[in-house]
Structure formats: structure tokens, C-alpha cells
Amino acid sequence: MSLMPPTPDDTEDTEHSPAERAAAASRSTWVSVAVNLVLTSVQITAGLLTKSQGLVADGVHSLSDLIADFVVLLANHHSQKDADEDHPYGHHRYETAASLVLGLLLLGVGAGMLWSSITKLEQPETIAQVHMAALWVALGALTAKELLFRYMLAVAKRVKSSMLVANAWHARSDAASSLVVGIGIIGNLAGYPILDPIAAAIVGFMVSKMGWEFGWDALHDLMDRAVDEEEVEAIRRTLADTPGIQGVHDIRTRKMGDMVVADAHIEVDASLSVEAGHEIAVEARRRVMQRHRVLNLMTHVDPWRRPDRDHDRA
């Protein structure tokens, strides 16, 4: 079971409209709400009744998933707002902000789990023997979370949403935590009670680590991080293939939620009129925005002269 989330650029090449992405995000997130609502209730209740700290910790993690789902729904709603005077590029960074909130939420939940587990480990005589029912609940939660993860990640890849990727991997982290909790419960039932709070501590560390990674990644995106070189090269090829463009340089990009804002210098024949050069730039912009997840492209037209013409001048 891998715990390393893919980058949003690992998704398929098919583009989807903002409305399609919003609808897909809403559907998948409501499915997650239903699953997490059931799991939170069952895990915490069963954990208290069976005296399993690990299962209670897992239930708290499911509760954090439930809260995260509502954060995603809120961000998904606001990110679809049209551009206005204060936000000329739209509200796409609501998604990035949501990913940052998800990361901070995971980090806080994980730290709380670690503290609770360490406190329990300092007093091993207070660790109770768990009931067999705790194991069945943990295995049921593991199955439900793994299925939810696979469903949500498939949707996230299809519509190219980093926010949904973050939320899907949040579900995977909970599936992994259920696995660890199950192992801890088995150890407790086998006569090693200390394994239950150890499992809870491991879950806390896993959740904290994933929260840090998501939060750090979102923070960089909010600081205008560029897209990867592969996507920049794809934009460069689209520009270079536009009729009338003789060269492309100084392409710069920055993320705007799951979209991209870019600017580039394009070279056109110096003998062309200003109007002709402008038409080439307009066509280049249209092609890039049609073929890539580019929200806006600013072009700077540079004059280009044939080498033989420069030689004749000399």
C-alpha cells in the first residue's frame, strides 16, 4: 500500500470544464461524507466499548476526514465563482487554500494522536485488554477506506484536481491507519497490550507526516510555484508550432489553483506589420489555452530576422 501521493500532473491529458470538475468534486466528496459519517460513529463508539485506544484514534482520524470533506465542498463552491474586479483571474486558489487547510488539519490531528499515545505509553499499567469486536471494526474500516480512496483518486485524476487528490490521499492515510490499528489490536489480543497505543502512535506519526507534506506543497503553490518542466515544454511546443512563430523563449508559469497562468516571449518576422504580429500572438494564445490547463497567457512579441538578412546588412 503506497502512501506517496501522485502529483496533479500525473493525471490524464483530457481537459474538463470548470463545471464538470465542480460536479465531479461535489459527487465524490458527498460519497466521502457519507462513508466518514458512518465510520466516525462506529469507530469511536466501538473503540470506547472495546477499550481500544487505537480504534478511538482511528475514529478521530475519520472525523478529521469528515471535517476535511466539508472544507473541500466549501472551497469547491467558492473556486467556481467568476472573475471580478478584485480577482481578475478568478477564485481558483480557493482550492489551493483548501489543500493548505487539509494539511494543517492532518498535522493537528496527528500531533494530538501522538500526544495521547505517548501519555498512555508512560503508564503501561493503565492499558486495558481490548475486545475481539475491535478487530472486526478495524478491518471493516480498512476495507471501506481503501475502496473510498480508489474511487476518489480515480475521479481526481479524471478531472485533474489537486484538491481532490489531496482529499483522496487523506482517505488512503486513514486506510493505512486502520491497517496499523488492526495489527495493534491483534497484538493486544495476543497478550501484548502495549501494541494498541503503539499502533495509535504510529497512526499519529503517519497523519502528521502527510499533513506536513500537503501543507508545505500548498504553501509553495500559494507563493506562485511554477509547473514542472514537462508541462512547460508542452506549452513551448504548442507555441513553436503556431504558424508565424520563429522562436520561443522566457516562458514563465505560476499555478492558480489547478489552472496555470503563463507568459512567454515569441519571435515573429521583423518585416511583418504590427497587426500581423498581433494576430499571430492571438492565435498562439488561443492554441495554448485550448490545449493546456492555462487560464491566461500573456505574450511579448519580439522581432526576428533571418540570419542571411543580418549578414547582408553587415
Please state the domain extents for the chain.
8-222, 229-313
Q: Does 1.20.1510.10 match the CATH number of domain 8-222?
A: yes
Report pTM: 0.61
Q: Return the percentage of the chain with pLDDT > 70, whole number.
A: 84
Q: Do domains 8-222 and 229-313 have the same CATH topology?
A: no
Q: What is the torsional sign of CA 72, 74, 80, 86?
A: negative
CB 60 within 8 A of CB 166: no
Longest CA–CA span in the chain (Å) reads 93
pLDDT for residue 7 is more than 70: no
Q: What is the pLDDT of residue 283?
A: 94
pLDDT, tens only, 185-194? 898 888 888 8
Write down the architecture of domain 229-313 according to CATH.
Answer: 2-Layer Sandwich (3.30)
Q: Binning pLDDT at 50, 70 and 90, where does residue 252 land?
A: very high
Q: Please count the CA atoms within 13 angstroms of the CA of 95 that sit on its side-chain side.
A: 27
Q: Which residues of 107-145 are buried (b: 16+ CB within 10 A; e: fewer)?
A: bebbebbbebbeebeeeeeebeebbeebbebbebbbebb
* β-strand pairing of 245-256 with 259-269: antiparallel
Q: Which residues of 43-68 are buried (b: 16+ CB within 10 A; e: fewer)?
A: bbebbeebbbbbbbbbbbbbbbbbeb
- The helix or strand, by DSSP H or E, that contains position 258, with its residue range, turns out to be none
pLDDT, tens only, 31-55? 888 888 998 899 999 988 988 878 8
Q: Return the percentage of the chain with pLDDT > 90, whole number.
A: 21
